[in-house]
Structure 1
Amino acid sequence: MNILFVCSRNNWRSPTAESIYKGRQDHQFKSAGTEPSAKIRVSAKDILWADLIFAMEKKHKQRLLDKFPAETEQKEIIILDIEDEYTYMDKELIEMIKLSVDAYL
């Protein structure tokens, strides 16, 4: 299964999620951001690649739906409700991501 993590700037939350899971052999993981200033900006190709998408906040899901209506039409996008108040690999952020995501894997 291909899994995409999405946040705003692809600096802290989504790269942390990708780093947590990237060593797994049973799934592929990527991360991207919705903002023009994102390190890796989400693309239509990313959406099409993904079997499952995790958005850190409701606004990220809405941005995906608005910008990529055709690509997201048949996609499951799960909102994790993780605010932008953590740094990369923050212990609490890792716990929140695992608590929310592990059940889907």
Structure 2
Amino acid sequence: MEEKHKSRLKAEFSRLLEGRVIHVLDIPDDYKYMDPELVEQVEQSVASLLDLE
């Protein structure tokens, strides 16, 4: 998700997202579904957010 996606979510679902944290991984939307490079980037980004490193 990029900042523009976060903005759209907040605009459309502001009431449901109130008080919730939305993390932007800053991974460009340039990959095909389950691209190994994309999976690796997501795993690394999420691991740091979850303190799995």
User: TM-score, with normalisation over the residues of structure 2?
Assistant: 0.83
For residues 77-100 of structure 1, the C-alpha deviation after alignment (integer angstroms, 9 at most, x for no partner) is 000011111011111101100110
* Larger helix fraction of residues: 2
Q: For 1:79, what is the secondary structure of its paired residue?
A: coil
Give the structure 2 partner of residue 72 of structure 1: 17
Give the structure 1 partner of residue 35 of structure 2: 90
Q: Structure 1, unaligned stretches of length 5 or more?
A: 1-55
Deviation at 1:57, TM superposition (A): 0.7
Structure number with greater Rg is 2
For residues 29-59 of structure 1, the C-alpha deviation after alignment (integer angstroms, 9 at most, x for no partner) is xxxxxxxxxxxxxxxxxxxxxxxxxxx1111
- Fraction of identical pairs, as percent: 48
Stretches of 4+ moved more than 4 A in 1? none
**Count of residue pairs the alignment pairs up:** 50
Identify the structure with bigger relative contact order (alpha carbons < 8 Å, sequence gap 6+).
2
Distance 2:11 2:39 in 1: 29
* Larger strand fraction of residues: 1
Distance 2:30 2:6 in 1: 18
Q: Structure 2, unaligned stretches of length 5 or more?
A: none
